[in-house]
């Protein structure tokens, strides 16, 4: 590896650790066991990968936040209409009583350590264990909320939540799990761009709107998650700019091959990305 400026590289490595950066020059190795770089490799190439990954994570986090808020809203609204505001406490609505108890304990811990003013106001005024779901879900983590949805027994309310987002409840369970997984990667500032995920979101057979048509290298790659985000966001806000922002980001870094993220040839022509 060569350096355009060793003092600048040293300054960078004091900000971003050697170990963290090693994940970005790993793809630049010709011999990964002996740690021998490909001919012509520069430190600046690894730095570019790092900067691209940071901006990709920021973009993904921005839109997952929008999805998370929408999921909270629909679960609270649809399930409260179907049952009551405290539906999440009713073990009969869930497929596994033991798992439901564990999830409820997680919700209780999140609720009790919350310092939100609306929580304190409720606790001062009422003696109930929990406030209604439209309050409780506001302080429930995305991961716990995803598990809560997964554990719901099959039925119309569960299908209606998924239907709002344009897929079946089975697919929506796997997509929620994936979004939580990716959100956690981003929140911990971990490498995202060329990652192969340890989970496998489902490819839907039928969707309300057009999903991806061109075969991909698998649902465990970043591209498929980006497609999930785009599809769901299109249903929430048809005027969203996620696709435009993603294309601009990729164009900004022409040295980075989108195929390393699972992008198929011609992906820009998909109706989903128009």
* Buried residues in 112-149 as b, exposed as e (16+ CB within 10 A): eebeeeebeebeeeeeeebbbbebbbbbbebbbbbbbb
Please tell me the predicted confidence (pLDDT) of residue 40: 92
CA distance 271 to 193: 23
- Collapsing DSSP to helix, strand or coil, 36 comes out as strand
**Residues 206, 211, 213, 215, CA torsion sign:** negative
Q: Contact 172/60 with Cβ under 8 angstroms?
A: no
CA distance 230 to 232: 6
Please tell me the predicted confidence (pLDDT) of residue 218: 87
Please tell me the predicted confidence (pLDDT) of residue 47: 95
How is residue 228 written in tokens? 């999930």
pTM score, whole prediction: 0.94
Please tell me the predicted confidence (pLDDT) of residue 268: 92
> What phi and psi, each to the nearest 5 degrees, are found at residue 2?
-110, 165
DSSP E strands in the chain: the ranges are 29-31, 36-37
Q: Contact 176/86 with Cβ under 8 angstroms?
A: no
What's the pLDDT tens digit per position in 108-164? 999 999 999 998 999 889 888 999 999 999 999 999 999 999 999 999 999 999 999
Give CA angle at 191 (5, 184), nearest 5°.
140
How is residue 119 written in tokens? 């929580």
Please tell me the predicted confidence (pLDDT) of residue 104: 96
Residue at token pair 């048809």: 238
Q: Contact 236/66 with Cβ under 8 angstroms?
A: yes
Please tell me the predicted confidence (pLDDT) of residue 215: 81
Q: Contact 214/270 with Cβ under 8 angstroms?
A: yes
Residue at token pair 């505001």: 85
How is residue 183 written in tokens? 């959100």
- The set of residues, in sequence order, having a beta carbon less than 8 Å from that of 56 and lying 6+ positions away, is 192, 193, 222, 249
Q: Contact 151/171 with Cβ under 8 angstroms?
A: no
Please tell me the predicted confidence (pLDDT) of residue 216: 83
Please tell me the predicted confidence (pLDDT) of residue 132: 95
Residue at token pair 């498929």: 224
Please tell me the predicted confidence (pLDDT) of residue 32: 85
Q: Contact 224/185 with Cβ under 8 angstroms?
A: no
Stretches where the chain sits below pLDDT 50 are none
């Amino acid at each position: 590896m060569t350096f355009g400026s060793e003092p600048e590289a040293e300054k960078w490595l004091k900000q971003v650790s050697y170990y963290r950066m090693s994940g970005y020059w790993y793809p630049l190795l010709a011999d990964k066991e002996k740690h021998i770089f490909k001919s012509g490799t520069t430190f600046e190439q690894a730095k570019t990968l790092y900067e691209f990954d940071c901006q990709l994570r920021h973009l993904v986090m921005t839109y997952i936040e929008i999805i998370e808020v929408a999921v909270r809203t629909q679960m609270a609204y649809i399930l409260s209409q179907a049952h009551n505001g405290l539906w999440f406490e009713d073990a009969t609505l869930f497929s596994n009583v033991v798992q439901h108890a564990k999830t409820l304990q997680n919700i209780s811990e999140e609720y009790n350590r919350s310092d939100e003013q609306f929580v304190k106001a409720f606790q001062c005024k009422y003696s109930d264990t929990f406030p209604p779901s439209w309050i409780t879900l506001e302080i429930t983590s995305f991961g716990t909320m995803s598990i809560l949805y997964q554990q719901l027994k099959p039925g119309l309310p569960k299908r209606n939540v998924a239907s709002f987002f344009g897929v079946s409840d089975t697919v929506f369970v796997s997509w929620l799990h994936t979004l939580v997984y990716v959100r956690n990667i981003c929140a911990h500032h971990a490498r995202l761009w060329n990652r192969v995920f340890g989970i496998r979101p489902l490819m839907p057979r039928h969707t309300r709107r057009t999903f991806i048509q061109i075969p991909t290298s698998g649902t465990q790659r970043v591209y498929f998650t980006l497609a999930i985000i785009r599809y769901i966001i299109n249903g929430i806000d048809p005027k969203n700019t996620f696709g435009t922002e993603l294309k601009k980001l990729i164009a900004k870094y022409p040295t980075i091959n989108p195929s390393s993220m699972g992008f198929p040839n011609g992906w820009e022509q998909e109706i989903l990305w128009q």
